[in-house]
Structure 1
Amino acid sequence: MFGIGDFAALGRVSVRMLRHYDAIGLIRPARVDEFSGYRYYTAAQLPLLNRVIALKDLGFTLQQVQVLIDEKVDPGELRGMLRLRRAQLAEEMAAGTARLALVDARLRMIETEGHMDTGDVILKNIPAVRVAELSAPASSYDGPDITTALSPLYPQLIERLESGGVTISGPPMAYYLPDPHGPGDESITVHAAFPITGDVPADPGFQVVDLPAVERAATLLHHGPMSEAFRTGQLIANWIDDSGYQTVGSGYAREIYLDCPMDDLSKWITEMQVAVAPVT
């Protein structure tokens, strides 16, 4: 048998926690000295302790843990529950890491306010282009909302283009339009597209759209992940304001993904294009 301190050390829990588990009847000591009141545990109680800790980590209250223990949840069910919880925690960590990266990017923008170099913005004509596209709704123009809606569309579109024998004639692109019928005031429709040439089979599983020429567009290369595209968007906005132009249409930037290695988002190169016209 082990004293409460040794058992706590073996189970990687605190003595205080074991005392609490005893008080609520969750894990009773194997023996209590009748004179000193000292608690003793056995190695055979460690599996029960492991289950209690695992169920707590799943988010169950101690009262719920007691019910599950009494119902004798089998190891297979517990493993499944733990795998699900692990996946949820991994997703939360990834989301937290992404949010931290955005905070850092916003902080860098704040630190460079008043020192933004807009000299690399180029005003140019964008010729008309025929594209194959898939679209999806997004709740807002916020980065995570766009990524969630847009990312799944490209592999689907590539598969359908290859299946139909359609020739892709340029890099992937995306554009955005307001969605007046969406669930919220900020709802938009995201469009994932590839420029194409040649014939398209009947019922290809995607839309063919002729995007009209843009007489003037303020363009700038964005280097890095699209989660930080707001940095480049703000540079374009400053250039538009300083140069006597105004946005045309929705004001959303069209994005041309010139180089997008999937194994390193920091090496992405994206041309951002915003339609503009002189202020009248």
Structure 2
Amino acid sequence: MFKIGEFSKLMQVSVRMLRYYDEIGLLKPGKIDKYSGYRLYSIEQIPILQKIILLRDIKFSAPEIAFALEHWDEHFMIQQLENKKEKIQAEIRLEEQRIDKIKIAINAFKNKEIITNCNVSFKSIPSFIILSLRKVIPTYNCEGILWTELSRFVEQEHIEIVRQSNNNLAIYHDEGHKDADVDVEVGVMVKKIGKNKDGFTFRETEKIDRMACMMVYGPYENIGLAYQSFAYWLEQHAQYKMTGLNRQVCHRGPFEEKNPNNYLTEIQMPVIEKSKKIH
């Protein structure tokens, strides 16, 4: 058997970690010398420690490692590794989004372009027929999943859509911004009402008499800054207030452009004059 220091050298694991694994019950010494109190490890414990090291290095927590060791078999571990891979990929996407925000902030500071002004135009938006899909999704960044499902349904059902650059819209049904479990509806303009199926719904949109509209150029990360600049616009134009559900129209996006710098998104915010009442 090996003393803890010897086992540490051979397995390239610190003595501190071996003692920690002993304390939490992941890897108890094979034997403790009754005279010296030394922790002793056997050759049979090497495969167990190898499994612990593998799982530790791919971000399994101590409880997850303990559970995996208790249920170790090929089918179970493949599923556990797939789950961990998906979780890490989601974390990577989140970190990449944070990096993009950092880049935008750096450019803004360099160019002194922290936006407080925006160009707002008014439109009267008529009611029109859309085919829509509305779901609660994990975050706003998952909206692309809805668009993919909607596009697939349009193709499979041979639905005739209105062919124009602004024939699609996303409507956000939550009262305020949410960090998770967001209620989003995506839709495309169609020429006629069809039969609802599998969560896909044909409906007429609401007519909006006065819609405040802003064009946002570049990657979707710019949209947050545009909403913030709209807050400054409302402060400067105190006669208006927001009402109803905001929309976004994609004029150019990932389906048309490979370069995010070429994206063009229109933010639409219903507003009324404060002196007027909603009918």
TM range (shorter): 0.5 to 0.7
Q: 1:207 aligns with which of 196, 201, 214?
A: 201
- Distance (Å, rounded) in 1 between the aligned partners of 2:158 and 2:208: 29
Counterpart secondary structure, 1:58:
coil
Q: Deviations over 1:5-51 (max 9, x none)?
A: 5643453311233355568793536998x99x696765x64322112
Q: Is the 8 A contact 2:253 2:260 kept in 1?
A: yes
1:238 corresponds to = 232
**Does 2:256 correspond to 1:255?**
no
After superposition, residues 1-280 of structure 1 pair within 5 angstroms as 7-19=7-19, 26-28=27-29, 42=43, 45-54=45-54, 57-61=59-63, 65=66, 73-74=72-73, 76-98=75-97, 116-118=116-118, 120-137=119-136, 145-148=139-142, 150-169=143-162, 170=164, 171-178=167-174, 189-197=183-191, 199-203=192-196, 206-226=200-220, 228-250=222-244, 252-261=245-254, 265=260, 267-280=262-275
Conservation of the 8 A alpha-carbon contact between 1:219 and 1:236: no
1:83 to 1:6, Cα distance in 2 relative to 1, 3 A: farther
**TM-score where L is the length of structure 2:** 0.68
Q: Deviations over 1:108-152 (max 9, x none)?
A: 88997986232x3223333443222122246xxxxx63444x443
Distance 2:26 2:233 in 1: 69
Measure, in 2, the Cα distance between the counterparts of 1:26 and 1:193.
55
Distance 1:256 1:40, change over 3 A: closer
* Partner SS for 2:173: strand
For residue 141 of structure 1, what is the aligned residue in structure 2?
A: none
* DSSP 3-state at the match of 1:152: helix
1:73 Cα deviation after fit: 3.1
> What letter corresponds to residue 26 of structure 1 in structure 2?
L
Amino acid at match of 2:158: G
Separation (CA, whole Å) in 2 of partners of 1:27 and 1:195: 65
Specify whether residues 11 and 87 from structure 1 end up closer, same or farther in structure 2 by C-alpha distance, changes over 3 A only: farther
SS at structure 2 position matched to 1:168:
coil
- Structure 2 letter corresponding to 1:53: I
- Do the aligned partners of residues 54 and 254 (structure 1) sit closer, same or farther apart at CA in structure 2, a change above 3 Å counting? same
Gaps of 5+ in 2: none
Amino acid at match of 1:49: L
SS in 1 for 2:187: strand
Q: Would the aligned equivalents of 1:178 and 1:187 in 2 still touch at CA under 8 Å?
A: no
Aligned 8 A contact 1:173 1:192 in 2: yes
- 5+ residue gaps, structure 1, are 139-143
What SS does the aligned partner of 2:62 have?
coil
